[in-house]
């Protein structure tokens, strides 16, 4: 577990050193990446809501809302969205995007379905819903603070 967590932080460090400022990676990063996100996602408004075990930053545009969930230490452990489109996951997942992409590519397409779940070693990405209200979330199970019910992440 410690090793996994170390990998997570390594991912952050790599992003910060090598990819910034052109990439807006956020999952697993600290809160200051959110300002970059709201630009990349053309968000019109941004608000912060503080709950007992985490804080939530909400970015709203005319068509899509993205919520980023922060640990008390300020690290983004989950993102959730809803709107007319899915947000650009390469922005929200940052350096986890490649891991998501390869896990997603291995998954067989199932027709007739209005949902998808992709699980990789460190990441869970789920989408659900219908036209004009597509919903989804991505989270790092290892970083979800103790006592937070996944049901709240949506």
CB of 43 to other proteins, least distance (A): 10
Of 2 and 62, which CB lies nearer to other proteins in the complex structure? 62
On whether the CB atoms of residues 108 and 95 are closer than 8 A, the answer is no
Q: How far is the CB of 36 from other proteins (least distance, A)?
A: 16
Nearer to other proteins, 1 or 130 (CB): 130
Binding stretches for other proteins (CB under 8 A): 42, 61-64, 83-86, 88, 104, 108-117, 126-136, 150-151, 154
Residue 71's contacts (CB-CB under 8 Å, 6 or more residues apart) are 54, 77, 143, 145
Distances (CA, A) of 106 to 23, 86, 99, 120: 25, 20, 11, 10
Closest CB to other proteins among residues 50, 108? 108
Closer to other proteins at the Cβ: 17 or 105? Answer: 105
State whether the Cα torsion 78-57-73-15 is positive or negative: positive
Residue 133 CB, nearest distance to other proteins (Å)?
4
Largest CA distance in the chain: 43
């Amino acid at each position: 577990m410690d090793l996994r967590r170390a990998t997570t932080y390594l991912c952050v460090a790599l992003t910060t050193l090598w990819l910034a400022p052109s990439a807006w990676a956020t999952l697993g990063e600290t809160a200051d990446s959110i300002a970059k996100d709201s630009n990349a996602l053309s968000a019109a408004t941004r608000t912060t809501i503080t709950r007992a075990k985490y804080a939530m930053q909400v970015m709203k545009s005319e068509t899509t809302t993205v919520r980023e969930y922060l640990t008390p230490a300020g690290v983004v452990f989950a993102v959730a969205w809803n709107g007319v489109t899915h947000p650009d996951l390469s922005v929200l997942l940052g350096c986890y995007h490649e891991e998501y992409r390869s896990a997603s590519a291995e998954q067989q397409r199932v027709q007739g379905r209005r949902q998808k779940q992709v699980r990789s070693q460190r990441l869970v990405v789920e989408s659900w819903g219908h036209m004009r209200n597509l919903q989804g979330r991505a989270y790092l199970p290892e970083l979800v603070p103790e006592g937070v019910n996944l049901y709240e992440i949506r």
